[in-house]
Structure 1
């Protein structure tokens, strides 16, 4: 059993790590995040110039190729500095490139993938509804009615990140109410954000502030037939494979955050002195750092294992859920201990510990709450559904 990265993967990791250190120092990430409601267009430009939007897109569409493992290596290395700002890259990579690449038509791939690979198209996601949260299917009230040449959408979406600056929203709506099961009759739309009848309202939130999340209101928004992704009514079946990818992405983001927390904690423990000695000499501080390093190792092993399962076409739904749960809880615990190690400075906006905590606390709730993840894991052993 070989746990080493391939030569290509290791070389890519080292290249991205050097690029992040040179182009995206943590001081820049703090500055961008401090602007809160101001979207970091300069970060988008840096990522575009580096060609990172082409990762995971076939070369025939102007991309650089790369499997799930390469994408997760990139996500991890970016998140070490960016934290939640990772989603400036991740949203378009997941909602745009992954979705169109998997179930778009040849025409849709030819139109959109080259633009996404070049960094000329931003994409948001519109799945969650007011009052719905994790219960996406039960709360689905956004509807799409078939009309001549397309569909008319009405409803609301919540927490659509970066939708205020996106070109398109990957949006889920109900197109058939007469179904036996609630996961039937759903359709995916690639909705232009400049569409008449669409409103965008930014929301106040704790972390990932500069990315921005919105309430999106749709009032008789027309979407042409050529912007329907996949077969109408069967969206949920198509989405299932991409949901695993989203959970793996969360794992990579959290691992990158733990990397950042650990390096900052160790550096501070070596330099900061109290009672006449470096605080890294105190047993309590050493225990905190040992815990963070252990969580890092655990999440890394889980991430690479699930990425390998996904890239080799094996079933990994349960493992992806386990990764998401363990990674999100470990990242929050690591950041909390990081704040404790830095003391007052850990609470200060001048350092990154508070940013790592704020950005990753949400991942215990989304894209699916860890309580629901635990339910799903238990059900995989044949236990009855608890809801």
Structure 2
């Protein structure tokens, strides 16, 4: 990453993270972890805990390391350079736990949960998406929360709850009031213990990020006490939208980190592989591929840093964060595909990382919001009418 747009403190943090990642999170180790489908990489989590990674973005008064969105995207990018999708071991709890509690939690909830998250003693997962909704969270939401004495009863089902298989708590959205004028009203957020009676979690096999299970979560009359309602009942959608820019920028940083890894591996291969009596790095077509990847990298970096700087300064950044999410996810996929082409058969082999970048990057064009929906929002931000 160019140092021209970073403060001295940010540069020092980036360099420290890069050295730690190279020493503790090498690509070959991550590749082996990823082979074990639905086997949570506890050793990876423990390394993150020892480094203090779970406290990044959590204020120091709650036991965290502090840091702005710039700090978060710098860390996510460096981690994804070697870990690719395995890096979401950090990202899921960082967002669903850390940002969820910070954005919607009471002071008592912050004091209770944030130090545990920052220390790596508590894992969380997000449970928003439903089978009939996808990106249309509100239109497809069937999960209900019914008021009862001392709390709420939850019924319904969530899907694509990444990390739910090992989470201690689920950051969950449910409809608590159907008699509303706007569908964005009457939605509440809960911090649901995964081991609560009536919660059933089942793994969903998938293309990439294999060692971090993505799950369906069935809720059968699950009791959640009032103390685990986050924020005011019925206003959960407003709390959640306050975290969207952060989520999209971190998503973009993960994509950019994967692109970094692709470029590293492609250049290394071109400088060592020989064919027809020459290093294949001498071949013009392959040089063009690498030049394209490098240009995508630079474009993604600039738009990501722009969005992060705007958010850090408290400036409007919705369009910038959507642009970063779209551009970086599209470029990561294109770069990984070219990377496979550069490596040839070995790029398709599970013995190298190129196929891992390709598989893991593919999801990030869909979630947490599809690129098509993000483009709709960009157009709306330029004054065009709402299209959904």
TM-score by length of 2: 0.98
State the distance in 1 between where 2:376 and 2:73 align. 26
- Residue matched to 2:24: 23
State the distance in 2 between where 1:272 and 1:385 align. 51
- Residue matched to 1:68: 69
- Residue matched to 2:220: 219
- Residue matched to 1:379: 380
State the distance in 1 between where 2:201 and 2:58 align. 29
Alignment of 1:310-349 (within 5 A): 310-349=311-350
State the distance in 2 between where 1:373 and 1:59 align. 33
Q: Is the 8 A contact 2:103 2:240 kept in 1?
A: no
Alignment of 1:128-139 (within 5 A): 128-139=129-140
- Residue matched to 1:359: 360
- Residue matched to 1:171: 172
Deviation of 1:318 (Å): 1.3
Deviation of 1:125 (Å): 0.2
Deviation of 1:385 (Å): 2.6
State the distance in 2 between where 1:258 and 1:278 align. 23
Deviation by residue 1:248-289 (Cα, 9 ceiling, x = unmatched): 011100110011000100000010011110111000000000
Deviation of 1:82 (Å): 0.6
State the distance in 2 between where 1:307 and 1:290 align. 26
Q: Do structure 1's residue 7 and structure 2's residue 8 form an aligned pair? A: yes
State the distance in 1 between where 2:248 and 2:76 align. 12
- Residue matched to 2:234: 233
Deviation of 1:48 (Å): 0.5
Q: Do structure 1's residue 182 and structure 2's residue 183 form an aligned pair? A: yes
Deviation by residue 1:151-182 (Cα, 9 ceiling, x = unmatched): 00000000000101000000000000001111
Q: How many residues align?
A: 386
State the distance in 1 between where 2:226 and 2:268 align. 55
- State the secondary structure of the residue aligned to 1:215: strand
Q: Is the 8 A contact 2:74 2:253 kept in 1?
A: yes
Alignment of 1:1-387 (within 5 A): 3-387=4-388
State the distance in 2 between where 1:139 and 1:4 align. 41
- State the secondary structure of the residue aligned to 1:141: coil
User: Structure 1 regions of 5+ residues with no counterpart?
Assistant: none
- State the secondary structure of the residue aligned to 2:243: helix
Which runs of at least 4 in structure 1 moved beyond 6 Å after TM superposition? none
- State the secondary structure of the residue aligned to 1:83: helix
Deviation of 1:372 (Å): 1.0
Deviation by residue 1:72-103 (Cα, 9 ceiling, x = unmatched): 10100000001011110111111111121222
State the distance in 2 between where 1:235 and 1:81 align. 35
State the distance in 2 between where 1:259 and 1:381 align. 31
State the distance in 1 between where 2:80 and 2:39 align. 19
- State the secondary structure of the residue aligned to 2:138: helix
State the distance in 1 between where 2:55 and 2:283 align. 46
- State the secondary structure of the residue aligned to 1:100: helix
TM-score by length of 1: 0.98
Deviation of 1:384 (Å): 2.2
